[in-house]
Every structure is written in C-alpha cells, then in structure tokens.
Amino acid sequence: MMTMKLYHRPDCPFCWKVRLFLQEENIKLEEVCVDLGETHPDVVALNPNGTVPVLVDGDVVLGESAVIIEYLADKFPGSSLMKGSPSQRAQIRQLHYDSDHKLGKIIFPYIKQIRESEQHKASDDLLKKTSEAWAREQKKLTRTLGEKAFFNKEFSVAECALIPRFALALAYGLTLNEDDQNLKQWFYRCVKRPSFLDTLPQALPAIDEMVKF
Amino acid sequence: MMTMKLYHRPDCPFCWKVRLFLQEENIKLEEVCVDLGETHPDVVALNPNGTVPVLVDGDVVLGESAVIIEYLADKFPGSSLMKGSPSQRAQIRQLHYDSDHKLGKIIFPYIKQIRESEQHKASDDLLKKTSEAWAREQKKLTRTLGEKAFFNKEFSVAECALIPRFALALAYGLTLNEDDQNLKQWFYRCVKRPSFLDTLPQALPAIDEMVKF
C-alpha cells in the first residue's frame, strides 16, 4: 500500500488543522515540512496555487485543507471527528468554515504585520481592531459551545480547525476573554491532549507560557 | 413534518447553486426571495452575516451555501450529486471550493462594477484583466473535464456550483473559449437540463441569447 504524503508548514493553521486530524485519528503518513516563504518544487508542481497543505495519496492530489479533511473522513469512515446526525455534522462544518474564513481574516493581518515589522510589533490601531474582533468571535463561540465539553460533545473537526487559530492568536499576544469561562476551559481541555502537544510548531512558545492554567 | 425554508436571491451564484441542487434532487421546500441590497429582517435575525442563502430546517439554521449543500446531501443520503469514491467526492468538493472561492473572486468585481456604474459598463482595464483570468480558468477546467460528459461522469455538485458562475459570466458579456470545445459542450449539456431552466433568474437574459448553440 502506498504511503500518503503531506506537504505542510508547521505553523500554518490550515496545515496544523490537518495534522491534528491525523494525530487524533492515528493516521500515519509521510510528512514533508516546507518553510514560510519557501518555494518547494514538489508543491509548485502539485498545486497550481503553490500553497500548503498538499495531500498526495496515489493519484489523488488535494491542495485545499477543507477538502483534505473531508477526504480523510470519507476514506477512514470509522473517523470519530465528523460523526453525528446531519445537523451535528453541519454544525461541525459551519465552525470549520468560520474558522478557516472568518477567524483567519480577523487574526492573519495582525500576525503578518508582527512577522514583517522590524520591531516585531503590530500598530496600536491594528492591535485594537484585532483584539476587539477576536473578543467578539470568542463571545459567539461561547454561545455556540454552551455547557458542552466540546462543540460536538466530543473532540471533532471543529476543534481541529479552531485550536490552531486560538494557539496562534495567544502566541502573538491576543488574550482569552476573562468572562468566557466555558470557552477557556474548552481551550485548556484541547491543549492538554497529546494531539496538541505532538503537533505544536517548534516556532511557537510552549502553551503554558501563553496561558496560565 | 416541518417544511424546510430557503431564503435566497435568485441571481446570487451561491443561492442559485443550492436551488440547482434542490431541483436536481427533487427536494421541495418553501422559498423566500430576497432582493439585492434588501435587508430582510428574518435573514438578519437568522444569520449574523445578514447574507443569503439561509436554510432553515426546524432547529437547524445554516448560513453558508457549502455547508447547506453538504447538509442536504447528508440528510437525503440517496443524493446522486455527491456520490462516488472518496477520491471522486474529493474532486467534486475541490471544484465546488474553487468555484465558490476562486471563480467568484475573478468574476465578481467585474459584475459589481457593471451593476454599479452609470453606463452599466466595466472599465477597459477590468474587462481585460477579468477576461484573461476567466479564459485561464476555463483552460484549467478543460484539463480537469477531459473527455467526460460531466466532471464526476454524471451531473454533480461540481455542476451546481460552476453553472451559475458560467451563466453569470456570459450574461455580463464574458465569453466561452472558442478552443475549449469539450467545456463548451459540457456547458450546453447543463443549461439544457430542466433544473437550469427552472432556476434561471428572471433578471438574466434567456440562455440562448447568451450563447449560440
């Protein structure tokens, strides 16, 4: 049987999401790390966008993280990360979509500015705008989570998508809403799982330096 | 049994995609039309983004077209529009994703400028840039389609997503690549289906005015 291969950048939230999925499902494959800004010839040849993640499984080549996750959940139908009724699966997909498209848009310009500025700082304006939007998103997630331990009762693709966003936000100086205790507990619950520790990018500080448990 | 309800704008490609799916699957629901620019109080109450489509099915409220499609395919498991092996389903999802996120980004600024300009025209620069990108995307799709009648052999979610993009592009004056005969035939095949004629927005010209068959 051919080994699957994943091209990824460890601190890319889309890639990290896929690696959390693989780790939680105990799916083994060959990993090829790509650095930020690196033009990897395989990636360029495989994916017209030149972006990671890229999954190669025999003839199947997939270059969008959301499509990769659905593919893996289809291919390994015992997967516990997409399980439930159609409405539960829709809620997982809605959270996955919002994490990829909305949380990403809020946090990414801020992280990019820090990475690219000489002082490794964002402007006060951008910090304020990002912090406010990030706090509002946490409020929305708190309402969706309610009293549950995880968004779909058990750890799911929703957590695979959201946890890298949260970890990156904290690593770059944003904070968890003090009032949203259930969401904080949810985050602590996730980052203590072996899958998080095993996939945490080396470039990020240890999570206990980001958050006081 | 409660009737499902869909809030939609007929000439929105995300909404049209969902309606093609419903029509092809013969799924009946209550439709509520929303005009361009209209702030419908139900939509604002149901969807924090205030955008359509919104699907309501009892307690389930979904405000992202891709999530709605996956939900309907899950809820009606006999669905023929998402069928096949994991790799076939991944290809459908990849085309669906690219149609929503890439084709949309290429065509939408051009359509918006035509809609909003006094002369109902885009600038020469934007027309040129859009035409070139649109031609390149057709080339890519031609390679993916190959000799097949449809992207997944039979009509699928890939067509539900792509056909509204194509029809809108043509309605606003873009053209089909003369050389890409298989793709042209594919388009003709799709627009002659009852589902296309039944869902064609009144605001658009009849398809035989857009394309010479």
The Cα of A39 is separated from the nearest Cα of chain B by a number of Å equal to 21
From A36-45, A169-178, B188-197, the region with the lowest mean pLDDT: A36-45
Position B136 pLDDT exceeds 90: yes
Mean predicted confidence (pLDDT) in A22-50: 91
In whole angstroms, give the CA distance from residue B190 to residue B200: 12
In whole angstroms, give the CA distance from residue A9 to residue A145: 29
Residue pairs spanning A and B at CB distance below 8 A: 56
Q: For A99-139, write each residue's pLDDT tens digit.
A: 999 999 999 999 999 999 999 999 999 999 999 999 999 99
Average pLDDT across chain A, whole number: 93
> Which of A60, A74, A97 is nearest residue B67 as measured by Cβ atoms?
A97
The Cα of B186 is separated from the nearest Cα of chain A by a number of Å equal to 23
Whether B44 and B144 share a structural domain: no
Position A13 pLDDT exceeds 70: yes
The Cα of B93 is separated from the nearest Cα of chain A by a number of Å equal to 6
Tokens of A135: 């706090």
In whole angstroms, give the CA distance from residue A32 to residue A53: 10
Q: Does the residue B20 lie in any domain?
A: yes
Q: Is B90 on the interface with A (CB under 8 A)?
A: yes
pLDDT over 70 percentage in chain A:
96
pLDDT at A213: 58
Whether A62 and A119 share a structural domain: no
Does A97 contact B70 at a Cβ distance shorter than 8 Å?
A: no
Whether B71 and B90 share a structural domain: no
Position A186 pLDDT exceeds 70: yes
CATH number of the domain to which B67 belongs: 3.40.30.10
Q: Does the residue B80 lie in any domain?
A: no
> Which of A62, A74, A94 is nearest residue B94 as measured by Cβ atoms?
A62
Domain containing A107 equals 86-210
Whether B58 and B143 share a structural domain: no
Does B74 contact A59 at a Cβ distance shorter than 8 Å?
A: no
> Which of A48, A66, A90 is nearest residue B62 as measured by Cβ atoms?
A90
Of B75, B100, B123, which residue constitutes the final position of a domain?
B75
Q: What is the CA radius of gyration of chain A?
A: 17
pLDDT at B135: 98
The Cα of B94 is separated from the nearest Cα of chain A by a number of Å equal to 6
pLDDT band for B212, please (50, 70, 90 cuts): low
Position B188 pLDDT exceeds 90: yes
Whether B199 and B109 share a structural domain: yes
Does B93 contact A66 at a Cβ distance shorter than 8 Å?
A: yes
Positive or negative torsion for Cα B143, B147, B149, B150: negative
Instruction: Using the structure block, give the residue that is written with the tokens 């043509």.
Output: B170
Does B64 contact A97 at a Cβ distance shorter than 8 Å?
A: yes
Position A29 pLDDT exceeds 80: yes
Does A87 contact B48 at a Cβ distance shorter than 8 Å?
A: no
Whether A182 and A100 share a structural domain: yes
Does B87 contact A48 at a Cβ distance shorter than 8 Å?
A: no
CATH number of the domain to which A116 belongs: 1.20.1050.10
B92 neighbourhood in chain A, CB within 8 Å: none
Asked if B168 contacts B13 with a C-beta cutoff of 8 angstroms, the reply is: yes
Whether B203 and B124 share a structural domain: yes
Give the amino acid at A45: A
Q: Does the residue B81 lie in any domain?
A: no
Report the relative pairing of strands A60-62 and A5-8 from DSSP bridges: unpaired
Does B74 contact A97 at a Cβ distance shorter than 8 Å?
A: no
pLDDT band for B145, please (50, 70, 90 cuts): very high
Whether A18 and A111 share a structural domain: no
pLDDT at A125: 97
Instruction: Using the structure block, give the residue that is written with the tokens 């999401």.
Output: A17
pTM of the model: 0.95
Position B196 pLDDT exceeds 90: yes
Position A37 pLDDT exceeds 70: yes
Mean predicted confidence (pLDDT) in B82-88: 95
Mean predicted confidence (pLDDT) in B56-73: 97
Q: Does the residue B203 lie in any domain?
A: yes
Q: Is A193 on the interface with B (CB under 8 A)?
A: no
pLDDT at B63: 96
Mean predicted confidence (pLDDT) in B24-39: 92
In whole angstroms, give the CA distance from residue A20 to residue A97: 16
Does B74 contact A86 at a Cβ distance shorter than 8 Å?
A: yes
Whether B139 and B204 share a structural domain: yes
Whether B100 and B24 share a structural domain: no
Q: Does the residue B42 lie in any domain?
A: yes
DSSP A32-59: EE--TT---HHHHHH-TT--S-EEEETT
Does B70 contact A93 at a Cβ distance shorter than 8 Å?
A: yes
pLDDT band for B38, please (50, 70, 90 cuts): confident
Give the amino acid at B114: I
Higher pLDDT, B125 or A204: B125
Mean predicted confidence (pLDDT) in B184-201: 94
> Which of B48, B60, B94 is nearest residue A67 as measured by Cβ atoms?
B94
Of B75, B106, B130, which residue constitutes the final position of a domain?
B75
pLDDT at B185: 95
Q: For A51-93, write each residue's pLDDT tens digit.
A: 999 999 999 999 999 999 999 999 998 888 999 999 999 999 9
Q: Is A90 on the interface with B (CB under 8 A)?
A: yes
Q: Is A74 on the interface with B (CB under 8 A)?
A: yes
Of A50, A75, A100, which residue constitutes the final position of a domain?
A75
In whole angstroms, give the CA distance from residue B90 to residue A65: 11
A51 neighbourhood in chain B, CB within 8 Å: none
Whether B34 and B128 share a structural domain: no
pLDDT at B90: 98
Q: Does the residue B141 lie in any domain?
A: yes
Q: Based on the structure, what is the number of domains in chain A?
A: 2
Q: Is B25 on the interface with A (CB under 8 A)?
A: no
Q: Does the residue A80 lie in any domain?
A: no
Whether A121 and A197 share a structural domain: yes
In whole angstroms, give the CA distance from residue A35 to residue A73: 27
Instruction: ipTM value, please give it.
Output: 0.94
Q: Does the residue A81 lie in any domain?
A: no
